[in-house]
Amino acid sequence: MQSKRRILLIIGGGIAAYKCLDLIRRLRERGFSVRAIMTKAAEQFVTPLAVGAISNERVFTELFNLDDEREIGHIRLARDCDLIVVAPATADLLAKMAHGQANDLATSVLLATDKRVLAAPAMNPRMWLNPATQRNVAQLKADGISFIGPAVGEMAERGEAGPGRLAEVPVLIDAIERRLAPRDTAAMPLAGRHVLITSGPTHEPIDPVRYLANRSSGKQGFALAAAARSLGANVTLIAGPVALPDPAGVTVVRIETAAEMLDAVTQALPADVAIFAAAVADWRIAKPKSEKLKKSAGSEPPALKLAENPDILKTIGHRSKDRPRLVVGFAAETENVVANAQKKLKSKAADWIVANDVSPETGIMGGDRNTVHIVTRDGVEHWSDMHKTDVAEKLMVRVAIHLGQQSADIA
Ligand SMILES: Cc1cc2nc3c(=O)[nH]c(=O)nc-3n(C[C@H](O)[C@H](O)[C@H](O)COP(=O)(O)O)c2cc1C
């Protein structure tokens, strides 16, 4: 007989905490054992007595409890389960998780665990849409935390509606079941595919301390890598200098210059898909100095002679040997966005161009959101403004569908 699947449920202090009672009951009906941790705030919404009665287990609330520590301890709590579910995941819990804080039992366990974590956010739509929360969610996704919801609808507060409702209990149970089902990685849409992604800016040295660069943050490329990985791909991410952590399960190659990026890309081939999201400098300094340039009184500022950098997208697009089946370029433009992208599609022999307007007023360069246009030989798709992680997920699903169709055509 299959042993009981063990859920550690972390209940945050949100109005939806009461729904956890129903969640626990339904999980137990399906043969799960549920052990709960409640935050201090959660106790304002539902009592440990009720949670304990429904779960038929002891409820944990305190980090500094000598008896609990002797008996099970927060590290064992973090490990003695098959899945940790955070529901409702408050804005506060998400912020603490994203920053690795551990100042109560719930957050200490979340930091100490080696188990998978599923977060079910629930909060007021403005709290959810606040850039701080969106930043935290993007970070947590990059760290490998998975999310279910929030659902869109009416809030407990009168007259408030939007994204922020806790996913309904059957939806939560389905998400939990799916995470615990033996992973058939071979059945994932990008299983067995090698996806190569470039990301971030390049730095072109002027001398040992100065460089030419651009405002690219790398957020879009890193989100693409995480999205490709979550669909089962083997992912190589070639990243220019950015302060983002490696996405879980992705091979990351850190480089500095355009020449190093091209070198890393060619070394990473063959790939099924190559997505060039990096903002590669068009020019480098023709002859960077090996010593720091000195300012001297009365002399002219140095004239910097530029040389053209290799065009990575064009080089790979035109490659006869090892050309990936799908070559996707990103085109950052400040005018005639779609027309310029259509020209690039041809001149660089790309299959798709993802074009975006990076004029300063859009806030896209360095920001968390993106408005893109997908330019292919068949036409142009205009996507609405969305978070960069959503652009990434949508694009990778499109990639998976495209490869699936190609395979079907070949067969
Ligand atoms: C009536 C009331 C309802 C609240 N509902 C929510 C909520 O649904 N989601 C949320 O993120 N925070 C909500 N909060 C704020 C959290 O309770 C607060 O941020 C708390 O510090 C969360 O603590 P925890 O993350 O440790 O559980 C609510 C506060 C009050 C007073």
Question: Which residue's CA is the closest to the ligand 1 atom numbered 11?
Answer: 90
Please identify, by atom number, the ligand 1 atom nearest to the C-alpha of residue 90: 11
Structural Rg of the chain based on CA atoms:
25
Q: In the CATH scheme, what is the code of domain 187-410?
A: 3.40.50.10300
What secondary structure does DSSP assign to 142-203, as a single string? HTT-EE--PEEEE-SSTT-EEEEEPPPHHHHHHHHHHHHS---GGGSTTTT-EEEEEESB--
Give residue 409's pLDDT: 65
155 touches ligand 1 (CB under 6 Å): no
Residue 197 has pLDDT above 80, yes or no: yes
Residue 107 Cβ contacting ligand 1 at under 6 Å: no
Q: What is the pLDDT of residue 305?
A: 97
Task: Tell me yes or no: is domain 5-182 CATH 3.40.50.1950.
Answer: yes
Which residue(s) pair with 89 in the sheet?
Answer: 121
- Over 80: is that where the pLDDT of 410 sits? no
Cβ-contact 7, 34 below 8 angstroms: yes
- In the chain, the percentage of residues whose pLDDT exceeds 70 is 97
Structure tokens at 331: 């085109």
User: How far, in Å, is the centroid of ligand 1 from the Cα of 137?
Assistant: 17
Q: Among 190, 192, 214, 210, which residue's Cα sits nearest to residue 201?
A: 214
Closest residue CA from atom 3 of ligand 1: 15
CB 165 within 8 A of CB 125: no
Ligand 1 mutation target, pool 92, 94, 127, most atoms within 8 A of CB? 92
**Cβ(113)–Cβ(74) below 8 Å:** no
Q: Separation of 153 CA from ligand 1 center, angstroms?
A: 18
Q: Tell me whether the CATH fold assigned to 5-182 matches the one assigned to 187-410.
A: yes
Contact 258, 310 (CB under 8 A): yes
Catalytic residues: 214
Please report how many Cα atoms fall inside a 13 Å half-sphere around the Cα of residue 55, on the Cβ side: 26
Domain boundaries, the chain: 5-182, 187-410
Closest Cα partner for 236 from 189, 123, 246? 246
DSSP string, 97-141: HHTT--SSHHHHHHHH--SEEEEEE---HHHHHSHHHHHHHHHHH
Residues 6+ apart with CB under 8 A from 66: none
Q: Which residues, other chains included, contact 143 with Cβ-Cβ below 8 Å and sequence gap of 6+?
A: 98, 245, 248
Cβ(120) – ligand 1 distance below 6 Å: no
Q: Does residue 123's CB lie within 6 angstroms of at least one atom of ligand 1?
A: yes
- Residue from 46, 63, 90 whose mutation best tests the ligand 1 pocket (most atoms within 8 A of CB): 90
Q: What is the average pLDDT across 323-338?
A: 94
271 lines ligand 1 (CB under 6 A): no
84-93, 150-159, 227-236 — which is least confidently predicted? 150-159
Q: Is 13 in the pocket of ligand 1 (CB under 6 A)?
A: yes
Ligand 1 center to residue 87 CA distance, Å? 12
247 C-alpha to center of ligand 1: Å?
Answer: 29
Residue 68 phi/psi, 5-degree rounding, is: -60, -45
List pLDDT tens digits, range 136-191.
999 998 888 999 999 987 777 777 778 999 999 989 998 999 888 766 667 789 99
Mean pLDDT of the chain: 92
* Model pLDDT, residue 90: 98
Is residue 92 lining ligand 1, measured as CB closer than 6 Å?
Answer: yes
93 lines ligand 1 (CB under 6 A): yes
The answer to whether residues 105 and 62 touch, using CB atoms and an 8 Å cutoff, is: yes
Share of the chain above pLDDT 90, in %: 73
Kindly indicate the confidence band of residue 1, based on its pLDDT and cuts at 50, 70 and 90: very low
One-letter amino acid for residue 400 of the chain: A
Name 100's Cβ contacts closer than 8 Å, sequence gap at least 6. 111
411 has pLDDT over 70: no
127 with 121: CB under 8 angstroms? no
Q: Is the pLDDT of residue 2 over 60?
A: no
Q: Which atom of ligand 1 is nearest to the CA of 44?
A: 17
Q: Are 196 and 265 in contact (CB under 8 A)?
A: yes
pLDDT tens digits, 253-311 = 999 999 999 999 999 999 999 999 999 999 999 999 999 999 888 889 999 999 999 99
Whole-number pLDDT of residue 159: 77
Whether 15 lines ligand 1, by a CB cut-off of 6 Å, is yes
Taking the whole predicted model, whether its pTM rises above 0.95 is answered as no
Give the separation between CA 387 and CA 111, rounded to whole angstroms: 26
Q: Which amino acid is at 263?
A: D
Shortest-distance Cα residue to atom 6 of ligand 1:
14
Q: Tokens 């959503």, residue? A: 390
Work out whether strand 352-357 and strand 372-376 pair parallel, antiparallel, or are unpaired. Answer: antiparallel
Q: By C-alpha distance, which of 228, 226, 219, 227 is closest to 199?
A: 219
